A = this chain, B = another copy of it.
Amino acid sequence: MEQKRRIVILGGGFAGAFTARHLHKRAPRNVEIELISDRNYFVFQPLLAEVAAGTINAQDAVTPLRLLLKGITVRMGEVRDIDFTNQTVQLAQGSRRIPAYRTYDHLVIALGQRTVLDRFEGFAEHSFCLRDLAHAHELRNHVIQCLEHADVTENPTLKARLLTFVIAGAGFSGVEIAGELHEMLQRTLKHYPRINRDEIKTILVQRGERILPELSPALGEYAADKMQKYGIEVRFGTSLARATGTAVYTRDGEIIPTHTLITTIGNGPTELVETLDLPMQRGRIQTEADMRVLGHTNVWALGDAALIPVGEAESAPTTAQFAVREARCLAANLVATLEERPTRPFSYAPRGTMASIGHYRAVAEVYGRKISGLTAWLLWRSFYIGMLPGFSTRLRVALNWLFDYFLPRSIVQVKTRTNSGVRVVHFAKDDVLFAPDQIVDGFYMVVHGTLESRVPMTGGEDFVRILGPGDHWGERCLTEGTPTLGKLTAVEDSELLVLESADFSRLRQALPPFADYLEHIPEKIYPPSLRPHREQ
């Protein structure tokens, strides 16, 4: 009897899922295929901007992998390590992250990329990206929270910040997000009677001199013109340097006060790929022309994670269209290898590119022809409906799009966990973190920078305390359940860690050394009149 051979595919995006499908159809019968993914669904990334804007339901931008990959073993787990010598993948499975090990004869790495924002100070903590369904949910809930708050606040500075939305990068994603978001804001305004149309600012920031550099200059110009007509501010030749919780800063020194920054920039290898000892270039795994990883005979890579040479000195672009084509070629090469036939180099000439710009308009280049406006938009929609996997999803998305045309856009904000967890926040020089008589939402620890706490004292000078790295603030209000007495201001640009109030209380109860430490702070820091009364 022939021995079973195992092919393990890591990743369930376009690259991984389509490789699995093609292999399932073509591979000899003695081949076992297993796909490992840390989420149990396939995300149709091009539609995430529409989910964030509420045009289509979240469920319709995704398909369960088990549905898409009928007959193929799908294992949900997080890949922790790969042992290339023993041909074993180490996983963590389930909510308790129990370890599991899977062996392979051939391994396909299709883990995509992640957003790496190290080059931009504060971006990792204060920006939204749109890689996964959860991101679309977060962005949507955040935008609605901004509108709700802007509608009721009486502070004009706060209101302006809440109503400014900045998108960094004007490639396909940036343009589509800006267009969709702007359309959503315009359409939901009727629910917010105290927000005027001209108070909303959508700003698209592009480092280069034109948007959509992937398309021809004429189409880029058309798109920029249209977007500006809808009211989107497009800034060319500008790039962002850093972000805080209340503003973004351009490299020219301009400050744009905002609570919402969406980035479409900063791609890098996933954490796992980074730790593997593989040949890397520009953050991607180097492969031969047939997608075999350099120096390996049974390890393959494709999709955004891989640097696949095409022609001379060029590599395949990181788009869904290419990933799908690479998957087909890689599956054929794997089958050829198993059957001891020669492999073929990857090559593909794309048929066209398209981008939606909101308000029922798009731009497209198909077989070299330029199309724009409503025609391009209808083409864009039909193309995506055609690409969606499964009849039921196609039907649902088509109906959603139809509904969206004549029904009001929903503005439901679903809160996920609140008052829990640890988050990093940035503040710029002179930002006021807390004014007197405010509710303290957490325990603030200074990571970088300097802050000033100033409490007015009856019949005397203010009590002033300077906080630097390692210092913290808020424990007194949290412990006593009282509002702030004074003001907390950033003296210079600062980074803080916030432990939310509920978690602060729990930790204080469960960790005696922490409680002890907090118990003895008052004598050290505060003058007698600010120390807690110890009746209880």
Interface residues of A (CB under 8 A from B): 39-41, 57-59, 62-64, 66-67, 75-77, 80, 92-100, 133-134, 137, 144-145, 148-149, 152-153, 155, 158, 162, 191-192, 392, 395-396, 399, 403, 407-408, 410-417, 420-422, 424, 437-439, 441, 445-447, 470, 472, 483, 496-497, 499, 502-503, 506-507, 509-514, 517
Contacts and interface: CB of A to CB of B under 8 A. Distances in A.
A470 B62 contact: no
A499 B134 CA distance: 22
Q: Which 8 A-B pairs have the closest CB atoms?
A: A421-B421, A94-B149, A66-B191, A497-B510, A445-B510, A422-B503, A76-B148, A392-B407
A67 B421 contact: no
A519 to B, nearest CB: 12
A137 to B, nearest CB: 7
15 contacts: A40-B148, A57-B59, A93-B152, A94-B148, A98-B438, A395-B403, A417-B421, A422-B503, A445-B507, A447-B509, A470-B510, A470-B511, A470-B512, A497-B506, A513-B517
A511 B100 CA distance: 35
Contacts of A407: 392
A145 B259 CA distance: 34
Contacts of A441: 96-97
Nearest to A507: B422
Contacts of A57: 57, 59
Contact of A511 (B96, B137, B472): B472
A420 B416 CA distance: 13
A67 B192 contact: no
Contact of A420 (B40, B422, B446): B422
Given A411-B40, A411-B66, A94 B145 contact: yes
Contact of A134 (B145, B408, B415): B415
A67 B191 contact: yes
Nearest to A77: B152
A66, A75, A408 pick with most chain B CB within 10 angstroms: A66
Contacts of A445: 507, 510-511
A93 B445 CA distance: 23
Contacts of A511: 445, 470, 472, 497
Contacts of A510: 445-447, 470, 496-497
Given A399-B399, A422-B420, A438-B99, A41 B413 contact: yes
A437 B39 CA distance: 24
A412 B66 contact: no
A208 to B, nearest CB: 34
A417 B513 CA distance: 28
A59 B152 contact: no
Given A97-B439, A392-B408, A411-B67, A422 B517 contact: no
A512 B295 CA distance: 45
Contacts of A438: 97-99
A67 to B, nearest CB: 6
Contact of A417 (B77, B100, B417): B417
Contact of A40 (B144, B417, B513, B517): B144
A413 to B, nearest CB: 5
Contacts of A497: 506-507, 509-511
